[in-house]
């Protein structure tokens, strides 16, 4: 499922692709992605409603509507708004990444177990990839003190966000030689499990300098 205002997977700032599926036996997935543009930037997020089925989907959809409505807000403010919107729901975990193409920066924060890894395009980059350090908690129930990190990004760098239905070993692979959509489909096929909903979002940065 998606709430996205970027129908074209190449929007000038990013190229993106997504692949997901509900747990076997369910029609609706509680895993959701958001890709929303604003000014000279893009917000990318993956939300995992707790559990699976319709109630998990409702929680994820509430958060996605908040993120899509004001994608240019600071990521900490967006999490606070999601937290308020998800009260009296099942709650969700999520990772949010805001790309600022004007300054070649990415700011991310995570609550719960939505993985995120940024792979560097430059062959001499140190480190060659960076992974998010999320805080334990549930948006809508118990919100931790957020850890908001800003990184520099360069043309060709690739961000991957994945719910816990994707086995964490995916972070060891390189996405640099594959299209965003092809890589998302590969990760779902290769690392997607059958014990939960699964979703992976791949974002390649097209702006900035090589």
- What's the pLDDT at 37? 92
Query: Has residue 209 got a pLDDT over 80?
Result: no
CA angle centred on 153, ends 150 and 158, rounded to 5°: 110
Q: Which two tokens stand for residue 34?
A: 């958001």
In the chain, what is the greatest distance between 2 CA atoms, to the nearest angstrom? Answer: 48
- Give just the sign of the alpha carbon dihedral 208, 184, 149, 129: negative
- What's the pLDDT at 7? 43
* Residues 3-17 pLDDT 10s: 454 544 555 799 999
1: pLDDT confidence band, cut at 50, 70 and 90? Answer: very low
* Across 107-113, average pLDDT: 95
- Domain layout of the chain by residue ranges: 2-205
CA angle centred on 99, ends 173 and 19, rounded to 5°: 45
- What's the pLDDT at 35? 97
* Domain 2-205: homologous superfamily in CATH: PPM-type phosphatase domain (3.60.40.10)
- The secondary element (H helix, E strand) that includes residue 115 is strand 115-119
* Across 39-44, average pLDDT: 91
Contact in structure between 2 and 17 (CB atoms under 8 Å): no
Is the backbone peptide bond immediately before 127 cis, with ω within 30 degrees of 0?
Answer: yes
Beta-carbon neighbour count of residue 71 at 10 Å? 22
Beta-carbon neighbour count of residue 54 at 10 Å? 13
Percent of the chain surpassing pLDDT 70: 93
Per residue in 172-205, is it b (16+ CB within 10 Å) or e — as a string?
ebebeebbbeebbbbbbeebbeeebbbbbbbbbb
Per residue in 92-129, is it b (16+ CB within 10 Å) or e — as a string?
bbbbbbbbbbeebebbbbbbbebbbbbbbbeeeeeeeb
- Give the chain's mean pLDDT: 90
């Amino acid at each position: 499922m998606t709430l996205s205002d970027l129908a074209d997977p190449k929007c000038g700032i990013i190229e993106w692709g997504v692949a997901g599926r509900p747990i076997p036996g369910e029609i609706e997935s509680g895993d959701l992605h958001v890709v929303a543009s604003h000014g000279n930037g893009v917000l990318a997020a993956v939300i995992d409603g707790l559990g699976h089925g319709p109630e998990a989907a409702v929680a994820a959809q509430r958060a996605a509507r908040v993120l899509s409505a004001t994608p240019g807000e600071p990521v900490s403010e967006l999490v606070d708004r999601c937290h308020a919107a998800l009260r009296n729901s099942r709650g969700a975990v999520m990772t949010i990444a805001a790309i600022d193409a004007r300054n070649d920066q990415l700011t991310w924060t995570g609550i719960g177990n939505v993985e995120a890894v940024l792979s560097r395009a430059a062959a001499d980059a140190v480190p060659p990839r960076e992974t998010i350090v999320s805080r334990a908690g549930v948006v809508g129930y118990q919100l931790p003190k957020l850890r908001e990190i800003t990184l520099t990004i360069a043309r060709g760098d690739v961000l991957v966000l994945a719910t816990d239905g994707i086995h964490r070993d995916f972070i060891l692979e390189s996405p640099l030689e594959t299209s965003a959509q092809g890589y998302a489909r590969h990760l779902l096929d290769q690392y997607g499990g059958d014990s939960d909903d699964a979703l992976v979002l791949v974002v390649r940065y097209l702006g900035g300098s090589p």
